[in-house]
Structure 1
């Protein structure tokens, strides 16, 4: 959009300046890369957002987890939009939000991070011509709301992301994943609290365990980018997933069964979903069969791809991408 310009009224009942946002799920805490590595699987939330006068707030939610989403000022997408407006010194607007959720909630697939990323991207689109937001700005605002950059970086940027803090400022590097890496996610009916999962980890770990994870984190990047045949070894971990096993016994049982058969299975995010990084599309069918034999509880297998695009926002009236990483 040209600096300072605003589009005319959009079709479909949306007003001037309405934007459409699409953000992928995230699988963060990628086994040895705790609080550092994240991946964007191809499950999406899609939203349409426009400014309303007079502080009015209208929120409509459909899809996965819709019944549990707040429709008032505590809504995470709305809060994220207002956070960015406040940060750039512009009064928070009223909002109309229409969300169509595809990302399962409370399953370790980054539903809250996706909501934050969607809000930050929506703010970028709404503020076009009034404030310019860089990638670093987007990651900083999202991290301020979410708490951990690895939870939001994949939703914003797609692919495999490395996230870290530089003098307190969140930074990221996006990497492309080898085309042979074929994600499979097993989603259970149960949920898991991220804070509860984190509470099971010790505040200190043995030096040998820390060195072990450093080596596996480096190997995981190489495996995902160049050598998928190394994924099983590369997804070993001694920092967090074993400690959390007692809170998710069915998840732990499935991970162990899959790994025993040579599959690079990990807990996705804080769980309880299980992510399998298969080294080819056909291997995923074998993993589904292993899971069917290994556990009695119901798991929904999702055959996915790695999202390489990340979050996008477009002006509805113009039909052009406002932002694409």
Structure 2
């Protein structure tokens, strides 16, 4: 496979996984994006510039997650490895349950799609399967690729996803604390098995959530109840637990975003509930943390790549 471009621009959104009861299956794109430029170089050099999130901590060599995703995508389509220059302008917070690693992987795969002569070889479903090999589960990668809300699953052929209809008027607000929580730590506290009654409870709530998103917003509070992961993680993310409890006590459909510790709210007219973009004075100190909000109205597009 030959390259027909040597420079691409990629934008990819933050995502919230789970959406409460849809553990490792449901996800939604959020109104925060990383912007990346990638150049294929004639040399073997790796040059990486990072602005924003991760500027002080991410590697600048082959160990960078985006570089690893680029290499995997190139191998998948039979393209050669080249030197790389990457300029990443990262706005998605790291360690907050907002899909930053999925965004990096998807951005790397999308960059290869924009560089090669036959981009259809890296269509959305193949991108999802490659990304899931990195992530282990598709609930963040799917909305990062397709945009909007998605339901994803895996079978013997790999990962798949379909869009989930979200009615006009349903908004998102994500509350982001200062604290961080590595996903690996959040997964480590989950039990190996759960009671059958809890599994049945979540199956019902996940089905209800799909219906509520499609046009029954009055059902969102009940539809976002969960028994599979949030309570098990409460001890390692007390601020998120306290915020979810406070917001749900006010009748708002609040859940832990992905593995946390950010909190996602789904509903209508969220600005009227004090969930506007920016620092939240009323939330300062809830759970012993400080919070800022990103309020998004309308659907968020998935990954976008342009060449040249």
TM-score by length of 1: 0.88
Alignment of 1:74-223 (within 5 A): 74-129=63-118, 132-223=121-212
Alignment of 1:1-325 (within 5 A): 6=4, 17-129=6-118, 132-285=121-274, 291-292=283-284, 294-305=286-297, 307-316=299-308
CA contact (8 A) 2:74 2:81 kept: yes
Give the 3-state SS of the residue equivalent to 1:165 in structure 2. Answer: strand
Equivalent pairs, count: 305
Distance (whole Å) between structure 2 residues aligned to residue 131 and residue 178 of structure 1: 30
Give the 3-state SS of the residue equivalent to 2:220 in structure 1. Answer: helix
CA contact (8 A) 1:48 1:98 kept: yes
Give the 3-state SS of the residue equivalent to 2:274 in structure 1. Answer: helix
The alpha-carbon deviation at position 86 of structure 1 amounts to: 1.1
The alpha-carbon deviation at position 38 of structure 1 amounts to: 0.4
The alpha-carbon deviation at position 124 of structure 1 amounts to: 0.6
Q: Deviations over 1:152-196 (max 9, x none)?
A: 111111111100013241100012311211111111111001111
CA contact (8 A) 1:40 1:306 kept: no
The alpha-carbon deviation at position 295 of structure 1 amounts to: 4.6
Structure with bigger strand share is 2
Distance (whole Å) between structure 2 residues aligned to residue 55 and residue 306 of structure 1: 43
- Gaps in structure 1 of 5+ consecutive residues: 7-15, 317-325
Moved more, 61-70 or 298-307: 298-307
Distance (whole Å) between structure 2 residues aligned to residue 89 and residue 292 of structure 1: 52
CA contact (8 A) 1:29 1:35 kept: yes
Moved more, 102-111 or 180-189: 180-189
The alpha-carbon deviation at position 89 of structure 1 amounts to: 2.1
Distance verdict in 2 for CA 1:65–1:293, change over 3 Å: closer
Q: Deviations over 1:254-289 (max 9, x none)?
A: 110110110111111111111111222434426957
The alpha-carbon deviation at position 227 of structure 1 amounts to: 1.1
CA contact (8 A) 1:32 1:236 kept: yes
